[in-house]
């Protein structure tokens, strides 16, 4: 059946939980692309047949015409699936800059194809440029604030970091009392958690 592979491509991506994605399926993707080219060849040959019989392209409604219509529709459908596959993944990638910061973790990078990695870098740069023009960091304060300072537990050896005006050593399992906006990026990257009694 025409368009089956294209739907399969999307189904795999749609199965994922919200905001997650699968490794880029280049095998299936390439198969859908070649299906598109196959449809185009068939379409061209049917059009040629109509032309050879000296029939009017605009008004002819014979078997060749409907064959061509089916190939055209299948091509349009395949294109929509391919575009939606890329587009929906791009939307998830857009969210990454806000959630994990400007550098992608290895395991996530492996799921992207080359163009997507480029896209992530360019998109990060676009946000960066906007923020520096405004001189305002928009990647913190993702939830409404309650207390300016929070108690956190460090989950991994982060080492010496510079916060505002002083430096602090963040060793695994240590507890700290930090400004919320300083702690936020670490929490979102899974290196700290808020410590609640």
Partner 1 sequence: MPGYYDMDDILMEDEPISVVFQVGAHGCGLLDPGSETIDIEKGTKMDLPYWLAHQLHLRQAVSISVPASFSQKTRKEIQADAACVDLKGRCPYFYELGCKVAPLVGDKTIGSFLLYAFTDRYKEMLSKSHSASAVPRFSSRLTKEESQLFQAARSSMAAFKKWRTGGSRLEKASILGRKRKRTIPLGPSSP
Partner 2 sequence: MSGPWSEEAEEDASSLAGTTDVELIKRAWRNEKAAPEILQFEGPLVLRVREQIQLLEETVEESTENGSNDLVVSLYQMDLDRTLFLLRSYLRIRLQKIEKYMIHISKTNLWNRLSEQEKKFAKRCTEIMEKLLEQSVLARLPYGYESFLKQSISSEEDDMVPEPQLDTFVFCKAKDAVGAFQLDDSGDEIVDLVADDLYVIRYKSIKGLVEAGQIDLV
Nearest distance in Å: CB 115, partner 1: 17
Number of H helices, E strands in the chain: 6, 5
* Closer residue to partner 2 (CB): 14 or 171: 14
Binding of partner 1 by 194 (CB under 8 A):
yes
Query: Which segment (22-30, 114-122, 171-179, 187-195) binds partner 1 by CB under 8 A?
Result: 187-195
Q: Tell whether the torsion through CA atoms of 115, 121, 127 and 130 is positive or negative.
A: negative
Rounded distance between C-alpha atoms, residue 84 and residue 87, angstroms: 5
Query: Which segment (61-69, 114-122, 124-132, 167-175) binds partner 1 by CB under 8 A?
Result: 61-69
Token pair listed for 71? 């190939």
Query: Which segment (45-53, 59-67, 111-119, 183-191) binds partner 2 by CB under 8 A?
Result: 111-119
Q: What is the DSSP string of 79-92?
A: HHHHHHHHHHHHHH
Residue partners of 109: CB distance under 8 A and separation at least 6 = 117
**Interactions with partner 1, residue window 110-139 (CB under 8 A):** none
Binding of partner 1 by 48 (CB under 8 A):
no
Instruction: Give the other-Cβ count within 10 Å of 93's Cβ.
Output: 19
Q: Tell whether the torsion through CA atoms of 109, 115, 118 and 123 is positive or negative.
A: negative
Q: Which residues bind partner 1 (CB under 8 A)?
A: 1-3, 7, 10-11, 13-14, 18-20, 42, 45-46, 49, 61, 63-64, 66-67, 69-71, 73-74, 77, 80-81, 83-84, 87-88, 92, 95-96, 99-100, 105, 107-108, 142-144, 146, 150, 180, 183-184, 187-190, 193-194, 196
């Amino acid at each position: 059946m025409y368009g089956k592979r294209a739907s399969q491509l999307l189904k795999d991506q749609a199965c994922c939980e919200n905001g997650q994605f699968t490794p880029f399926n280049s095998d299936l993707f390439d198969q859908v692309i070649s299906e598109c080219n196959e449809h185009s060849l068939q379409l061209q040959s049917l059009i040629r047949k109509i032309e050879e019989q000296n029939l009017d392209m605009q008004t002819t409604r014979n078997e060749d015409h409907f064959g061509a219509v089916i190939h055209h529709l299948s091509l349009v459908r395949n294109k929509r699936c391919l575009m939606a596959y890329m587009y929906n993944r791009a939307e998830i990638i857009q969210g990454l800059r806000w959630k994990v910061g400007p550098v992608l973790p290895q395991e996530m990078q492996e799921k992207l194809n080359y163009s997507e990695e480029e896209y992530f870098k360019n998109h990060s740069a676009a946000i960066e440029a906007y923020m520096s023009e405004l001189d305002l960091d928009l990647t913190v304060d993702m939830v409404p604030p309650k207390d300016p300072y929070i108690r956190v537990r460090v989950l991994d050896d982060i080492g010496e970091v510079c916060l505002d005006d002083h430096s602090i050593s963040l060793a695994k399992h240590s507890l700290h009392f930090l400004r919320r906006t300083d702690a936020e990026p670490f929490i979102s990257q899974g290196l700290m958690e808020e410590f609640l009694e």
